[in-house]
Amino acid sequence: MRRPFHGSHGNQGLAIVYDTYRHDEAARALPLLAAPVGRTLAWRDGVPIDAARFLAHVDQVAALLPDAPAAVNLCEDRYAFLVAFCAIVLRGQANLLPPSRAPLAVEDVMAAHPGAYALGELALQPAPPGYRRLPPLAADIAPVVGAVPAIPAAQVAAIGYTSGSTGMPRAHAKTWRSLHAGTAGNLAMLRRVAGERFHVVATVPPQHIYGIEMSVLLPLLGAVGVHAGRPFFPADVAAALAEVPAPRVLVTTPVHLRALVESGVALPPLAALLSATAVMPTELAHAAERRFGAPLLEVFGSTETCAFAGRRLARDELWTLYPGVRLHPQPDGTGIEAPQLDEPATLADLVTLHDEGRRFRLCGRHADLLEIAGKRASLGDLTRRLLAIPGVEDGVVLQLDEADAIGVRRIAALAVAPSLDEHAILDALRCAVDPVFLPRRLRLVDALPRNETGKLPRADLLELLG
C-alpha cells in the first residue's frame, strides 16, 4: 500500500481506494485518437488535415523508427510534432521532453536514457546522436481506413522535465492513462466557454508539458483542431488565428499576452484566451479581456501533476479544482489526489481551501517563503509588487544562495524598466513592502532570460546578477 497523506486519519482509506482504482485503470488500453476519424485534427499551411490522414502519417513515420526505449521529439512544426509523438507512442516508446531544445540539454536527457534517439523534421547542424529526420508529410496521403489503434493504459508515453526555475531539471513520467485523465479536465474547462468543438492556436512550444496538454493532447483526445505553427510576433498570432475557423482559443503565456495587448494588433474574434507558466498580473488580465473581448482563463499545474485547476482572474482570484481533484494542506506544502496521478503527491505550493474544498487560494510556495528579522513574506508576492510598479515591463525577485556576514540570505531583483532607474524602483517598493525585504541588489536589464514558455531558469538569473 502506498503512503497516505500526512494529517487526517481518514486519508488511509482514501489511499487504499486510490490504489485499487489505479490498478483497474492501468489494466485497460485506451485509444490513440478520439473519434470520429473524419474530423479536422490540424490546420497546416491553411489546409485542414483530418484524423484519418493524420493516422496515415503516424503509420508512415512509425514504420521508420528504430527499436529503442525512448526518443527526443525535436519537431518545430506542431503537426510534425503530433505525428512524431504518436508514432513514438505507437512503437511502445516514450517521448522525451527536455527542459529546452538547447544541444546540451538534449544531450543530457539522452545520456539519462541509454539507447534513446532524436527525431525531427529539420536538417539540424549539429544533430544529436542518432538523429532521425521525418519524411515529408504529404497532404494527399491515402487516409487510414479501420479501427483507431489502442495504447496500453500503463505505457509511459512521455517523460517531461521541469524547467529548472527552482533548481536542476527533474524527470516525470506520464502514462497514457494519466494523459487521458488530465485531458478530460482541460476539455471540460474549455468547453464551458468555447463549446464542444473549437480550434487552438498556441504560442508555446509542444515540447513543454503545458504545450503538450493544450496543443497536442486536446486535438488528439477531443473534438479540437490545432494550428500547426507556433506564432511569436503579434502580427503572426493574428494571421494564425485567421487561418482557423471560430470558435478560437489562443493558448499563450503572460509574456506573450502582454506583447499582444501592447501591440495594438487586432485579433480575429476569440472564444477564450488561455495562459499558464508564470505570474499573471491582475491588471494584465483585465487589460487582455478589454482588448480582445474574450475571457482570459488560467490553468494551474506543473510538470509533476499536469493541470488540475483553473480560474478567471479578472473575476476571481480563487482557483477551482477540476473534477476528482482533492487537496490536503500540509505544513510543508499541499497533498494532492487527481485522476491523472498514479499515486498521491505533495506540492511545494501552500494553499487555503474554500467552498468545502472545491476552490483554493494560492499563498505561495514553501521554498518561496522568507523570514528575515522575524518578519515574513513570499518571493511571489514581492515579484507581483515589483511588476505592479508603473514603468516596470518585466521583473523577478529572488533570494540569493549565499548568506551574508550575519547569516542572512539577501533578496535581489532584476527588472526591465526602460523609463526608470534603480532608485525610482526602490522608492516605489518602499511604499509597498517592509524595508527588510527590499532588494539589496537590483539590476536593470534589457530582457529577462525567459525560456520558450516564459519561465526563468534560476541558473540564468544568478548569472545575470553577476
Domain span at residue 410?
Answer: 373-465
* pLDDT of res. 79: 97
DSSP 302-337: -TTT---EEE-TTT-SSEEEPTT-EEEEETTEEEEE
Asked if residue 28 belongs to a domain, the reply is no
321 and 406, same domain (yes or no): no
Question: What pLDDT is attached to residue 294?
Answer: 98
Residues 246 and 86: their CA atoms lie apart, in Å, by 27
Question: How many residues are there in the chain?
Answer: 466
**Pairing of the two strands 70-73 and 94-97:** parallel
The last residue of a domain, from among 338, 365, 392: 365
Instruction: Look up the CATH number of the domain holding residue 384.
Output: 3.30.300.30
What confidence score (pLDDT) does residue 406 get? 60
- Which residues are bridge partners to 403 per DSSP? 409
Say yes or no: 354 and 395 in one domain: no
Residue 56 backbone dihedrals phi, psi, to 5 degrees: -65, -40
Taking the chain (466 residues) in runs of 10, the rounded mean pLDDT of each run is 27 35 63 93 94 96 96 95 98 92 86 94 87 92 90 96 67 95 96 96 92 96 95 96 97 92 96 92 94 97 94 96 96 93 90 96 76 72 88 90 70 92 92 85 92 82 87
Q: Give pLDDT, residue 262.
A: 92
Same-domain check for residues 449 and 353: no
Q: What sign does the dihedral 332-333-337-342 (CA atoms) show? A: negative
Whole-number Å distance between alpha carbons of 214 and 69: 25
pLDDT of the residue at 98: 87
Domain boundary among the residues 365, 397, 425 is at 365
- Would you say 103 and 157 are in contact if contact means Cβ atoms under 8 Å apart? no
Tell me if 15 is assigned to some domain.
no
| Residues 315 and 415 both lie in one domain | no
- The residue out of 345, 365, 385 marking a domain boundary is 365
Q: What is the pLDDT of residue 101?
A: 78
9 domain residue, yes or no: no
Distance CA 134, CA 348 (A): 40
Residue 336 lies in a domain: yes
Q: What's the domain count of the chain?
A: 2
Whether residues 352 and 378 share a domain: the answer is: no
Backbone angles phi, psi at 2, to 5 degrees: -80, 160
pTM of the model: 0.81
